[in-house]
């Protein structure tokens, strides 16, 4: 059976598709900001739209409901983290081709640059807490949150496995467990920095956390 040729989209259709993508992006950015500052439960669809000078009618052509929007916010946040972690993995794997000092100061420098690239801000921290609380009460959202967390953990685990290999080390825990430990150290340091105020000087947070992660690697790994 002959399949008819696909008709390419017209210029008007392309413009409409682009405008819709931009509107969707603006709504996600608005929700991200308001969820972090006010909380999910205290944020209305009207506020999300007004925050970007959009009418309420622009919401439902882009999202089925608030849960659908929250899933889009989760995808955005994890997408940023995954991109950063993948760049770390690429950098580490490149060391196999041109080995350099990844022990001591070299390892510290790599952790520092990774932390510097991560979107660790007060807004990100507050949003993360809000999304977790909401997800635990809403199974469909929880599933999306789990997917993002597992994907980040596995990407980080892959990068750590390469780091251990490049440094000619032997880890006493598997790469996934190590990824969970690393994530815990980062979040504990960032929470501490918010409570005690040294997040005002982000470099202090970067330095303290990079040192802790370097020490962690020394504790769980030994040389061959």
Model confidence at 108, pLDDT cuts 50, 70, 90, reads confident
Tokens 């007004």 identify what position?
50
CA distance 46 to 105: 51
- pLDDT (average), residues 6-11: 55
What is the SS3 string spanning the chain? CCCCCCCCCCHHHHHHHHHHHHHHHHHHHHHHHHHHHHCCCCCCHHHHHHCCCCCHHHCCCCCCCHHHHHHHHHHHHHHHHHHHHHHHHHHHHHHHHCCCCCCCHHHHHHHHHHHHHCCCCHHHHHHHHHHHHHHHHCHHHHHHHHHHHHHHHHHHHHHHHHHHHHCCEEECCCHHHHHHHHHHHHHHHHHHHHHHCHHHCHHHHHHHHHHHHHHHHHHHEEEC
Contact by Cβ (8 Å): 175, 157: yes
Model confidence at 161, pLDDT cuts 50, 70, 90, reads confident
Q: How many Cβ atoms are within 10 Å of 146's Cβ, its own excluded?
A: 11
Model confidence at 26, pLDDT cuts 50, 70, 90, reads very high
User: Residue 151 corresponds to which tokens in the numbers above?
Assistant: 């994907």
Q: Which of 81-85, 99-103, 112-116 has the lowest mean pLDDT?
A: 99-103
CA distance 139 to 179: 25
Model confidence at 165, pLDDT cuts 50, 70, 90, reads confident
The CA-atom distances, in angstroms, between 190 and each of 1, 115, 194, 205 are 61, 11, 6, 7
User: Residue 172 corresponds to which tokens in the numbers above?
Assistant: 């006493």
Model confidence at 170, pLDDT cuts 50, 70, 90, reads confident
User: At residue 40, does pLDDT exceed 50?
Assistant: yes
Q: Which of 21-25, 67-71, 102-106 has the lowest mean pLDDT?
A: 102-106
Max mean pLDDT range (9-18, 30-39, 84-93, 152-161): 30-39
- pLDDT (average), residues 201-210: 84
pLDDT of residue 193: 79
Q: What are residue 169's phi and psi, to 5 degrees?
A: -110, 165
- pLDDT (average), residues 75-104: 75
pLDDT of residue 120: 81
Beta-bridge partners for 171: 221
User: Residue 137 corresponds to which tokens in the numbers above?
Assistant: 């009460």
Tokens 């991560």 identify what position?
118
Model confidence at 142, pLDDT cuts 50, 70, 90, reads very high
- For the chain, the straight-line distance linking the first and the last C-alpha, in angstroms and rounded, comes to 63
pTM (2 d.p.): 0.81
CA distance 5 to 131: 45
pLDDT of residue 219: 84
User: Residue 83 corresponds to which tokens in the numbers above?
Assistant: 């991109």
């Amino acid at each position: 059976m002959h399949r008819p040729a696909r008709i390419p989209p017209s210029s008007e259709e392309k413009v409409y598709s682009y405008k819709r993508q931009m509107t969707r992006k603006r709504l996600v950015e608005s929700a991200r900001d308001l969820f972090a500052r006010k909380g999910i439960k205290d944020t209305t669809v009207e506020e999300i739209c007004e925050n970007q000078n959009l009418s309420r009618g622009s919401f439902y052509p882009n999202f089925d409901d608030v849960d659908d929007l929250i899933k889009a916010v989760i995808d955005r946040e994890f997408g940023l983290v995954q991109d950063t972690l993948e760049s770390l993995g690429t950098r580490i794997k490149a060391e196999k081709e041109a080995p350099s000092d990844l022990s001591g100061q070299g390892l510290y420098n790599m952790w520092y640059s990774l932390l510097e690239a991560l979107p660790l801000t007060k807004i990100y921290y507050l949003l993360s807490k809000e999304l977790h609380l909401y997800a635990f009460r809403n199974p469909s959202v929880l599933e999306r949150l789990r997917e993002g967390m597992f994907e980040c953990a596995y990407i980080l685990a892959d990068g750590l496995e390469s780091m251990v290999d490049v440094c000619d080390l032997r880890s006493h825990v598997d790469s996934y467990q190590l990824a969970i430990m690393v994530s815990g150290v980062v979040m504990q340091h960032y929470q501490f920095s918010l409570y005690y105020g040294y997040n005002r000087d982000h470099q202090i947070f970067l330095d303290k956390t990079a040192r802790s992660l370097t020490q962690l690697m020394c504790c769980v790994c030994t040389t061959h």
